[in-house]
Amino acid sequence: MQPKKNIVHLPVYQPGKPIDEVKRELGLTEVIKLASNENPFGYSPKAKEAILAAIDQVSIYPDGGAVELTAALSAQFGVEPNQIIFGAGSDEIIMMIARAFLSPGEETIYAVPTFPQYRHNAEVEGAVVIEVPVDETGTHDLKAMLAKVNDKTKVVWICNPNNPTGTMLTEKEVKDFMEAVPKHVLVVLDEAYAEYNVTDQYPDGFALLKQHKNIVLLRTFSKIYGLASLRIGYGVGHPDVIRSINQVREPFNTTTFAQKAALAAASDQAFIDFCRESNAKGIRQLQAKFDELGLPYFDAHGNFIMVDVKRSGAAVFQALLRKGIIIRHDPSWGYPTKIRVTVGSEEQNNKFLEALEQVLSEVTV
Ligand SMILES: *Cc1c(COP(=O)(O)O)cnc(C)c1O
């Protein structure tokens, strides 16, 4: 037996440690996970009602076309139903885009560091990956990315805000890029954290869609909507692009419960507003303490912040873990002294900051 040559070197995804395992291993009673950008406030009670009301549909296949949810979101965003596709998280949409658009030897461009699934799925398809480092502020270098585009380029991935750095490209920057990039290139604008935006600079992806056929927006119900375990996200684009993605979609790729919960969650604007405002406060709370501790950080436009702890990020990760706080550090980012922390509730943030201050005195520079 021989698997495809282009997958043998790929890592198997290593999830963050589950809270219960950390508790058991370290003998802790309280563990706070600020590692996966999950919503510390849970999810809309309306979504819970919708899931419970649908529970007897367990034995029935879901609506593969997600008709009701498509209708609701197309009305909300002012696009046609044939411009939306749903996936088992936006992760699955990334996989489907790679599958539909990338053939062996063709090129795809993304930033470093960014969301790892662009690279992973491109490599599964045997595409040639072109990596362009973010600039010193942690922001995509769109000029350098544009300079890498050639006749073989099929897909450019733009993560905005960028995970893990948290930085944001402005409307003008993305607009200028779309005007300059050749029409044969599909630009994927991953907006997993769009709903957290509190600036007036964030690009209007839906306006860009009206101007450019070669752009697809990715959104998810896993982050501000708090439905991560249900696995549902969506892509919005030109009907031709969405049809191509639909051609590689599995027939029943999202569940009834995910669709019902998403429908209810999308209509609960009060919950979204609460989460966005609490998150903005949480970012200010974290930044104020980082300032006091003299730790530099990148601009944060999602529900997480990347901070320079000025000593081994791996050691700080381990020391925080021993105190029951799970954050994220990944050597592949290329930032040995930075960590990424998800914005929690005010109380969780305080506990993290208290633990961090202790850890900084334990872990030497
Ligand atoms: C979390 C995340 C996603 C995907 O989340 P799903 O749970 O698969 O919808 C996609 N892109 C970025 C940048 C993310 O941070």
With CA atoms as reference, report the closest residue to 356 among 318, 316, 322.
316
What number of other Cβ atoms are within 10 A of residue 321's Cβ? 20
Ranges of CATH 3.40.640.10 domains, the chain: 45-268
CB 75 within 8 A of CB 98: no
Distance 117 CA to ligand 1 centre (A): 9
Tell me how far apart the alpha carbons of residues 294 and 361 are, in angstroms, rounded to a whole number. 13
Question: Which residues is 247 bridged to in the sheet?
Answer: none
Which residues does the chain have with pLDDT short of 70?
Answer: none
Ligand 1 neighbour 159 (Cβ under 6 A):
yes
Q: Is 253 in the pocket of ligand 1 (CB under 6 A)?
A: no
CB atoms within 10 A of CB 62: 18
Ligand 1 neighbour 79 (Cβ under 6 A):
no
d(C-alpha 136, C-alpha 118), whole Å: 22
Pocket residue to mutate for ligand 1, from 13, 190, 330, most atoms within 8 A of Cβ: 190
pLDDT value of position 41: 98
43 Cβ contact partners less than 8 Å away, ≥ 6 residues apart: 225, 226, 227, 261, 265, 271
Domain 45-268, CATH class in plain words: alpha beta
Give, in words, the CATH class of 5-42+270-362: alpha beta
CATH 3.90.1150.10 domain span(s) along the chain: 5-42+270-362
Ligand 1 contact, 233 CB (< 6 A): yes
Residue 163 Cα to ligand 1 midpoint, Å, equals: 9
Distance 89 CA to ligand 1 centre (A): 7
Pocket test for ligand 1, best of 93, 167, 223, 229 (most atoms within 8 A of CB): 223
Q: Measuring from atom 11 of ligand 1, which residue has the nearest CA?
A: 192
**For residue 276, how far is its CA from the centre of ligand 1 (angstroms)?**
17
Instruction: Enter the tokens of residue 283.
Output: 């970012």
Q: Is 108 in the pocket of ligand 1 (CB under 6 A)?
A: no
| Atom nearest to 115 CA in ligand 1 | 13
What's the per-residue H, E or C state across the chain? CCCCHHHCCCCCCCCCCCHHHHHHHHCCCCCEECCCCCCCCCCCHHHHHHHHHCHHHCCCCCCCCCHHHHHHHHHHHCCCHHHEEEECHHHHHHHHHHHHHCCCCCEEEEEECCCCHHHHHHHHCCCEEEEEECCCCCCCCHHHHHHCCCCCEEEEEEECCCCCCCCCCCHHHHHHHHHHCCCCCEEEEECCCHHHCCCCCCCCHHHHHHHCCCEEEEEECCCCCCCHHHCCEEEEECHHHHHHHHHCCCCCCCCHHHHHHHHHHHHCHHHHHHHHHHHHHHHHHHHHHHHHHCCCECCCCCCEEEEECCCCHHHHHHHHHHCCEECECCHHHCCCCEEEEECCCHHHHHHHHHHHHHHHHHCCC
Ligand 1 atom having least distance to the Cα of 221:
9
Torsions phi, psi for 215 (to 5 deg): -130, 140
Q: What's the pLDDT score for residue 151?
A: 98
Which of 114, 163, 219, 220 to mutate for ligand 1's pocket (most ligand atoms within 8 Å of CB)? 220
Give yes or no for residue 90 CB within 6 A of ligand 1.
yes
Structure tokens at 35: 């590692």
> Is the previous residue joined to 81 through a cis bond, with omega within 30 degrees of 0?
no
CA–centroid distance, 239 to ligand 1, in Å, is 23
Provide the pairing of β-strand 153-159 with 128-133: unpaired
Judge contact between 171 and 203, C-beta under 8 A. Answer: yes
200: exposed, middle or buried (Cβ count in 10 Å: 0-12, 13-18, 19+): exposed
Q: How far is the CA of 194 from the centre of ligand 1 (A)?
A: 11
What are the distances in angstroms from CA 362 to CA 80, 92, 156, 311, 355?
57, 41, 43, 11, 11
Residue 89: phi, psi to the nearest 5? Answer: 80, 160
How close is the Cα of 90 to the center of ligand 1, in Å?
6
Distance 26 CA to ligand 1 centre (A): 29
